[in-house]
Amino acid sequence: MGTNYYWYIENLPQLPTGELLPIDHDHPSIHIGLSYSGSHGSNFILAQSLEVIEKACKKVFDDHAVIDEYGSSFSGKEFLSFLNNIYVFDTHSIGKIFS
């Protein structure tokens, strides 16, 4: 089991990445990725490139910009700190719909 992370889009005209909001919340422009525990530590399957995620998080550094599937929200700063503790980033799902 893992946890999905999404851009927090309530009352936003566009995503922190600058893209317009799509209708499907599992669309890769809203879905950031999925974290799960691996044999060596935390892993993260990326729905967007790490570069795009980091740039967007810096843009919304102090704002609650990320929400997980359980309703917990994170500022850009908090999410960057979370990403710094990831052991493996899986890039095979960038741009694909998954959950």
Per the listing, tokens 């927090």 go with: 8
Instruction: Write down the pTM of the prediction.
Output: 0.83
- Per residue in 56-99, pLDDT (tens digit) is 999 888 988 899 999 999 999 999 999 999 999 999 999 888 86
The DSSP call for residue 29 is T
The sign of the dihedral angle between the CA atoms of 60, 63, 65, 66 is positive
Quick one: pLDDT at residue 95? 87
CA-CA distance, 13 to 16, in Å (whole number)? 10
- pLDDT greater than 70 at residue 53: yes
The pLDDT of residue 21? 66
- Given a cut of 70, whether residue 14 has pLDDT beyond it is no
Q: What is the CA radius of gyration of the chain?
A: 12
